[in-house]
Structure 1
Amino acid sequence: MDREELAAWLRLVETPGLGLDSARKLLAAFGSPQAVFACPADAWREVVPAPQAAALSRPADTLSSLVETTWRWLQDADGRHVLTLGDAAYPSLLLDIADPPLVLYGIGHLRLLQAASIAIVGSRNPTPQGIDNARAFAAHLSRDGLTVVSGMAMGIDAAAHEGALEGPGSTVAVVGTGLDRVYPKRHLALARRIGEQGLLLSEYSLGTPPLPDHFPRRNRIISGLSRGTLVVEAALQSGSQITARLAAEQGREVFAIPGSIHSPQSRGCHALIQQGAKLVESARDILEELQPALAAAAAPAPSSEDEAAEPADPVLDALGYDPATLDALMARTGWPAAELSARLLELELEGRVARLPGQLFQRIAHG
């Protein structure tokens, strides 16, 4: 993206009191952040409440500085990224959750966002056995090609990242700060390794400190990126329980490793198993459970011979098989918005195009 587009996205997501839901409504109504801010306040009030519309008209005092800092951060080193909801590289699994982040910051390999992934989470104060289990499960799953997603917290998260770095699946760390900070600080070396071999990911702008409410919130991204979530050790009331609940709400698998009935760190896992989580004793248990979903996700796109009977359509050709915004399709086809919207609706009714959250469109492959 260019600097002007970056500035528009940052102004939208950094507007105080706006929130993700209202921001998505504005994007759905106007198509892009630039289009939002090209409209008068009267148009905003038709989409969001008047106080939010008023906030939109007053850019934050720190916006210019944030845009400058973020733009310079992007230019200063390779492997730094800012993804928005309309980007083709935006993780497709996150589009299925109720509140996908509008902007993601990354350091490392973006290809891991489209890889088959498993979340591994657990206690910040694990037992030695818990640490060994997390590292061993992560290493096994990574060697089998699964990307391990966790939160780079102390304890189980760190062990999972370290184990995952041993295999080709590698790891994604979803953090609760801006990517110009590392928390906890003792994970500086681990964060550097993940940035080089895996991916560091955050929805928080540069300079954001480690505030307490950020960490439960980022858990929806950890579970949302993953086909399933494995809880290694957890107390009854814990962030890992939150991640497992979010995974279940998102329609993903939940796994738990049992432990001693005398250990407080096993009670969260036992409660999850009682609620329907799959009890696992080895990484193979997870791979067998996820195999149908992984096979479906890895199914090849239809070949040209498969689609030979389907007549060429300029909108489908322009869409390809990655999600795209209406603005992007207008640029690719040269069609006006009204004509393009009408054709997309026809294709949607025919089951050839799906409308995704964030005013995105995606071609449906038929085998």
Structure 2
Amino acid sequence: MDETEELRAWLVALRTPGLGPGGLREALAAAGGHIDAVPAWLRRRAAALDEGAAAWLDAPDEARLAGDLAWLAEPGHRLLRCTEADFPPLLETIPQPPAALFVAGDAGLLLHPQVAIVGARSASPAGLEHARRFARTLALAGFTVTSGMADGIDGAAHEAALEAGAATIAVVGTGPDRVYPRKHHALAQRIAAHGALVSEFPPGTAARADHFPRRNRLISGLALGTVVVEAGLQSGSLITARLAGEQGREVFALPGSIANPLARGCHRLIRDGARLVEEPAEVIEALAPAARALGAELAERLARPDAPAPPRDGGWCDDADYRRLLDALGHDPATLDELAQRSGLAAAALSSMLLMLELEGRVAGLPGNRYQCLPG
């Protein structure tokens, strides 16, 4: 099966009515990891499926699938599958992990240590400044700032990370080709160009209220910790914080004035056990050990036999794929797409190899999804 056929098979499965990520993972496991065998396995369990599933599997909407494939064919677009070596390991540990993610931008960023910054859409000026300050400091400390591209705190955190020359990740509750809210169209373009825009939903999916709690579990699941800046008692940010706690992640909350209704959600989190923080340095200190552990885990994960790994003796020049990648990098910064064209290596392999080289101090990740060799 070539790459296009495999992508089509994944898209058919992802769009099967009523299946969901859990059902797809179960079907994939039962089919021995072969995505092309999933439809046959599902048909044998037709009684347990949504009534529209069998009809879809027998006659999927080819126009819709063609649109999905066209989106994936664009530079910087990818379907990151749970069967791939560079699928984020932190997502494997959460309840209801996704089966695949649509990514616009640098999918390799999903492996980097992340901090989620979330909060009220109708944030106060002070709350927006706190979000910017935390995002800027965390980004400069080496953490990737992750949020949901909503109004208020989310948008401020993304913008501050970008202004600091760092990457940022937006997990959205629409298809990867939609922007919600519409006012963030320019922000979405900047995030895709200098970070990653991530969605569990296929292209063309409109915003729906039930999509955002699903999106929130990915924001908290990708991150080592979640910082809540401002939140009312009914804020969706409290859902993200609750999910972070259930996923075994750190939860941080900024205190505020007892007269500010947007501080009440944070105060409730603190009463329930979240860490009270006033400075970004407190978050950095708390998460630094987890970030180091994640780096070690990723190095081990990506060094397994089915992933591109460096020679054990460190002899980079003796490994053909790594030599091709280093030759393709040259002396000037290059994007992932440029490296794929120059080296002939697949984007998934390149993401894994570049992360290994970063961990070894041979390559630096730069703003704009670019990479550059380091001296030595």
Q: 1:68 aligns with which of 63, 66, 69?
A: 66
The CA distance in 1 between the partners of 2:155 and 2:36, in whole Å, is 39
TM-score by length of 2: 0.76
Q: 2:251 aligns with which of 249, 254, 273?
A: 254
Give yes or no for contact 1:145–1:168 (8 Å, CA) kept in 2. no
Q: CA deviation at 1:20?
A: 2.5
The CA distance in 1 between the partners of 2:276 and 2:164, in whole Å, is 24
Q: 1:208 aligns with which of 195, 205, 208?
A: 205
Q: CA deviation at 1:39?
A: 4.7
For the residue of structure 2 that corresponds to 1:154, the secondary structure is coil
Which amino acid in the other structure matches residue 73 of structure 1?
Answer: W
The CA distance in 1 between the partners of 2:71 and 2:159, in whole Å, is 27
Q: 1:175 aligns with which of 153, 172, 197?
A: 172
**Structure 1 residues 267 and 93, CA gap change in structure 2 (3 angstroms):** same
**Structure 1 residues 260 and 193, CA gap change in structure 2 (3 angstroms):** same
**Structure 1 residues 302 and 97, CA gap change in structure 2 (3 angstroms):** closer
The gaps in structure 1 that reach 5 residues or longer are 304-314, 323-367
The gaps in structure 2 that reach 5 residues or longer are 311-376
Q: 2:139 aligns with which of 142, 145, 149?
A: 142
**Structure 1 residues 104 and 186, CA gap change in structure 2 (3 angstroms):** same
Which amino acid in the other structure matches residue 243 of structure 2?
Answer: L
The CA distance in 1 between the partners of 2:25 and 2:306, in whole Å, is 24
Which position in structure 2 is the counterpart of 1:5?
Answer: 6
Which position in structure 2 is the counterpart of 1:346?
Answer: none
Equivalent positions of 1:108-147 (< 5 A) are: 108-147=105-144
Which position in structure 1 is the counterpart of 2:227?
Answer: 230
- How many residue pairs match? The answer is 305
Give yes or no for contact 2:85–2:306 (8 Å, CA) kept in 1. no
1:1-48 CA deviation, whole Å, 9 max, x = no partner?
Answer: 72221221122121112233222221111123211224583xx32xxx
Q: CA deviation at 1:270?
A: 0.4
Equivalent positions of 1:230-309 (< 5 A) are: 230-299=227-296
For the residue of structure 1 that corresponds to 2:79, the secondary structure is strand
Which position in structure 2 is the counterpart of 1:343?
Answer: none
Which position in structure 2 is the counterpart of 1:94?
Answer: 91
Q: CA deviation at 1:170?
A: 1.7
**Structure 1 residues 54 and 153, CA gap change in structure 2 (3 angstroms):** closer
**Structure 1 residues 321 and 213, CA gap change in structure 2 (3 angstroms):** farther
Given the alignment of the two structures, is residue 107 of structure 1 paired with residue 104 of structure 2, yes or no? yes
Q: CA deviation at 1:53?
A: 7.7
Give yes or no for contact 1:145–1:167 (8 Å, CA) kept in 2. no
1:118-156 CA deviation, whole Å, 9 max, x = no partner?
Answer: 000000000000000001100010011100000000000
Give yes or no for contact 2:230–2:266 (8 Å, CA) kept in 1. yes
Give yes or no for contact 2:17–2:50 (8 Å, CA) kept in 1. no
**Structure 1 residues 151 and 53, CA gap change in structure 2 (3 angstroms):** closer
Which amino acid in the other structure matches residue 247 of structure 1?
Answer: A
Q: 1:166 aligns with which of 163, 167, 185?
A: 163
The CA distance in 2 between the partners of 1:284 and 1:319, in whole Å, is 35
Give yes or no for contact 1:170–1:197 (8 Å, CA) kept in 2. yes
The CA distance in 1 between the partners of 2:298 and 2:77, in whole Å, is 29
Q: CA deviation at 1:302?
A: 8.4
For the residue of structure 1 that corresponds to 2:101, the secondary structure is strand
For the residue of structure 1 that corresponds to 2:55, the secondary structure is coil
Identity fraction in percent: 49
| More displaced 10-residue stretch of structure 1: 22-31 or 117-126 | 22-31
Q: CA deviation at 1:90?
A: 1.4
The CA distance in 2 between the partners of 1:55 and 1:33, in whole Å, is 20
Given the alignment of the two structures, is residue 79 of structure 1 paired with residue 76 of structure 2, yes or no? yes
The CA distance in 2 between the partners of 1:198 and 1:162, in whole Å, is 11
Q: CA deviation at 1:56?
A: 4.1
Which amino acid in the other structure matches residue 66 of structure 1?
Answer: R
Aligned alpha-carbon RMSD (Å): 2.3
Give yes or no for contact 1:143–1:166 (8 Å, CA) kept in 2. no
Give yes or no for contact 2:27–2:41 (8 Å, CA) kept in 1. no
For the residue of structure 2 that corresponds to 1:229, the secondary structure is strand
Q: 1:184 aligns with which of 175, 181, 201?
A: 181
Give yes or no for contact 1:119–1:150 (8 Å, CA) kept in 2. yes
1:53-77 CA deviation, whole Å, 9 max, x = no partner?
Answer: 86543216663122100111122x3
Which amino acid in the other structure matches residue 71 of structure 2?
Answer: W
The CA distance in 2 between the partners of 1:185 and 1:38, in whole Å, is 40
| More displaced 10-residue stretch of structure 1: 151-160 or 24-33 | 24-33
